[in-house]
Amino acid sequence: MVTQTTTCCHCRAPLSYTREGRCKKCRRVVLVNGQYLLSGTISSGGFGTVFYAHDQKSHRRVAVKLVLAGTPSDYELIKNEIMTISQRLSGLRFVPRFYTAYQEGSEVYLVMEYIEGKTLDQVRTLPWTPESVDRFLSVMLDQLQKCHEHQVIHRDLKPRNIIRNNAGDYILIDFGIAKMDNVTRTIAKGVGTPDYAPPEQLQSYTTSAQSDLYSLGVIAYELLVGQSPPNAYARLSGTALTPPSSHLANVPPRLEKTIMALLQLRAADRPASAAQALLILRDPPPLIKRASGKPMTPAEMLASLAGLAVFIFMCLIIFGIANRPDTPPPPALIPVVKLPSGRLVFASDREGGYDLFLADAGGGPPWNLTRSPQDELAPVFAPAKNYLVYLFKHRDAYGIARLDLATMERRELMPPRPDWNYGTPMPSPDGQRIAYNAGPLENLDLYVMDANGSNARVLAASPGQDYHPAWLPDGTALVYVVQEQTSSALMLLPLDTNRAPVEIYRTEGRLNAPAVSPDGRMIAFAERRDNGESSIYRMSVQGGPAERVTNGLGNAATPSWSSDGQRLMFSAARETSDERLSKIYLIDRDGSNLQQIFADRGNDIYPYWVP
């Protein structure tokens, strides 16, 4: 419930207003369009003042921005441009929703979604640790890439225009002088904030997506060093920009390289896009990056493995902004056993929330693929097309995302929905399709979509829950789980035919995560029976009895096969001296030779072994 104000937000006199919504004392508007009661100032700057407001019809808090229009034509320009920007960015959760606009004389009031949180200049304690700046840059570059893909350039990035909400997400606000396509339309007169604006913007030259990158570079430099770099005016006059490492020790080279690239005076010398800057920041190993920017073929990937040295470096902890900057990092993920072959992708919460990691048979600590304030889980690699699909969390709902490893570009294929559940995305062997389960929690169905997120269609919809799809190696069929009230079953669904699913195994226990061996003959899966702990089992794809593989490991789950079908990788929770942690293990298919992969304090889950 939003508490209504009892005083004028302008003059602080006891609230009393005219029929036109103006304060009887100061004569300024306090009730916009007879609906939005202004209650206080959020921020004020060169492009207007933003107020808290109470929507008296919906009884919710909103934000109302006051902009001076000057003329009726200015009002129409402002309204049309903010609506256009809002429509283009409407699917992006990190941009506040725009509701409507009203004119009161020469004043324009823009009614927008209120974001509970604080602006970056309110929450920051300088300097931040390199790890915190790294995480911030990763998130912001990903968000800018999406804005630029929708043909919107912010042009006034600064700490005051970035809100960190109560969920830890960063929200971009105040697109007041945004540029759309190749035409600049200015909602309020000005050229941005001088301390953060790039040279081309201060000199009234053409701006581009690279202009936003410069402003973000200034913010990142300030957060890392604890002081602002020389502004563009000073640098154009000859003041040198000193690298962050000249101010403090232990700056990761890739972080400094990214910031210095963003701060190049000439736009042409900066990264061509936010996605390219993100590639510099993440510095992917040769396994997933090539000079041409084109995805590696499976043959090229395998050939590259033979000559690789230990190239995957340790990823330091990246933690949320709300954490104290001097919080020490946890120990690194240390391999206990080297992978016998291939690559491993998995999720780990060693940095507070679950992020995705990649490890290689060459040994060494894994490489951090993603850094996000929200959990990211269940990664699966599509070697034929060189991308990952995985689940990502937003608030209390999950969506499906794709990460292209050649460019490190992230796409949301299925955005989260509060009343909908997505789970277990699984790319086809040729990488052209992705199977997944979706629906209300009590009635999940099996779906498939094209790899770009289009053409989603239902594959199986039983009265029970259909979930956890797994492809046969030739792509002709799927194995999946049907959960009913008193039992569950493994089903084999032929594709591209009219044949019905075939039941190949039924149990009174609960099944999950079937995985088909590379030769297409065996299925490994997890089953929870009477004792409440799940174990890994294996059986023939043709059906028959299931043989138990693991014993005595708590909640063994998500098995994955080696290339020769002789070993399995899975996660399981084992008791330590003071806690219960989920770790990743290797085991022979007959249940012998159990080995742990990593030793650290975090939970490592959802392993996917790529032969």
Active site residues: 156
Amino acid at 93: R
CA 611 to CA 602: how far, in whole Å? Answer: 25
DSSP line for 465-511: EEEEEEE-TTSSEEEEEEE-SS-EEEEEEESSS-PPPEEEEEESSEE
CA 74 to CA 108: how far, in whole Å? Answer: 9
Q: Which two tokens stand for residue 291?
A: 């000079």
What letter does residue 315 receive in the DSSP assignment? P
Helix segments in 380-484, DSSP class H: none
Q: Which residue shows structure tokens 């001296």?
A: 577
CA 400 to CA 451: how far, in whole Å? Answer: 11
CA 437 to CA 462: how far, in whole Å? Answer: 12
Angle between helices 253-262 and 130-149 (to 10 degrees): 40
Could you tell me if 505 and 489 are in contact, meaning their C-beta atoms sit under 8 angstroms apart?
A: yes
For residue 451, what are the contacts with CB-CB under 8 A and spacing of at least 6?
Answer: 382, 385, 387, 402, 427, 431, 432, 433, 434
Q: How many Cα atoms within 13 Å fall on the side-chain side of residue 288?
A: 32
Considering only CA atoms, which of 379, 406, 381, 403 is closest in space to residue 391? 379
Considering only CA atoms, which of 280, 238, 237, 283 is closest in space to residue 258? 280
Considering only CA atoms, which of 208, 226, 222 is closest in space to residue 144? 208
CA 47 to CA 177: how far, in whole Å? Answer: 8
CA 559 to CA 515: how far, in whole Å? Answer: 6
Is the backbone of residue 127 left (phi > 0), alpha (psi -120 to 50) or beta? beta
Considering only CA atoms, which of 447, 450, 476 is closest in space to residue 461? 447
- Per-position b or e across 72-100, b if 16+ CB within 10 A of its CB: eebbebbbebbebbbebbeebbbbbebbb
Is 108 strand, coil or helix? strand
Cis (ω within 30 of 0) for the bond into 127? yes
**Vertex 572 angle, CA 508 and 382, to 5°:** 95
Angle between helices 130-149 and 274-282 (to 10 degrees): 150
Amino acid at 68: L
Considering only CA atoms, which of 467, 575, 564 is closest in space to residue 525? 467
